[in-house]
Amino acid sequence: MNTTLNISAYKFVALPDAAELRVTLLERALGLQLKGTILLAEEGINLFLAGPAEAVRGFVTQLQADARFCDVAPKESWSDHQPFKKMLVKVKNEIIRMDHPTIVPAAGRAPAVSAATVKRWLDQGHDDSGRPVVTLDTRNDFEVDHGTFAGAIDWRISKFTEFPQALLDHQTELQDKTVVSFCTGGIRCEKAAILMREAGLEHVFQLEGGILKYFEETDGSHYTGSCFVFDERRALSADLSVTK
């Protein structure tokens, strides 16, 4: 019986009050008996929470009452147990570490494409302008090994901070193609897409909501294997069920 709602969400937005917000969000989550991890930084918020649906959605509603988070749209999946051991709220330098300070997503996103659009492009083998489409996996190598899009470019990085150098090494391979960067939930591929745009690649998009949103909104076609997640569920299938 899948009674535990799991959500993930992020938003790049200026949070100069991250330290104060940490206290507020921790108290709120503990009060609702939620477990998971919330990362805060001056660049934004990244959260993974699990618990009874009413409590989880209540937390999201309270979060959205803050105008900075009014458009946060969590990705949802279900499990038959609580996949987190405790509730942690941390303040960090970056909500996803890239060590590339010129990348400021809150100042402007790279263009995003919906799951349905990516599926259609992959179905037809090109984008709407007839340009060849490639998918670029921005995740760590061990995550990719669980599953990825068929034919996806995989630079075998072991941590996200290696992505900028990998781009320098392989940028010419991406010229004259439409590049769709993707990751688990959208946060890494958003930074990656901005970096690629700044490097001069014109036709770069991020998969809105990442693999989890693709699973949620399509039949999962063109994706092979499962999607690694950073909790006790380990990996999810295209129907968002826990991989057996």
Q: Enumerate residues 6+ apart whose C-beta is below 8 A from 47.
A: 7, 8, 9, 10, 36, 37, 38, 39, 74
How far, rounded to the nearest angstrom, does the alpha carbon of residue 58 sit from its chain's CA centroid?
22
Strands 153-154 and 133-137, sheet pairing: parallel
What is the rounded CA–CA span in Å between residue 187 and residue 206? 9
Instruction: Provide the residue count of the chain.
Output: 244
Task: State residue 69 phi and psi, 5-degree precision.
Answer: -115, 15
Q: Which of 70, 183, 189, 227 is catalytic?
A: 183
Vertex 186: Cα angle to 76 and 132 (nearest 5): 120
List the beta bridge partners of residue 75.
8
Neighbours of 102 (CB within 10 A): 8
- Residue 70 among the catalytic residues: no
Supply 229's token pair: 């997640």
Q: Enumerate residues 6+ apart whose C-beta is below 8 A from 64.
A: 70, 71, 72
Interhelix angle for 53-64 vs 18-31, to 10°?
Answer: 150
The answer to whether 124 and 135 have CB atoms below 8 angstroms apart is no
List the beta bridge partners of residue 89.
38
Catalytic residue list: 183
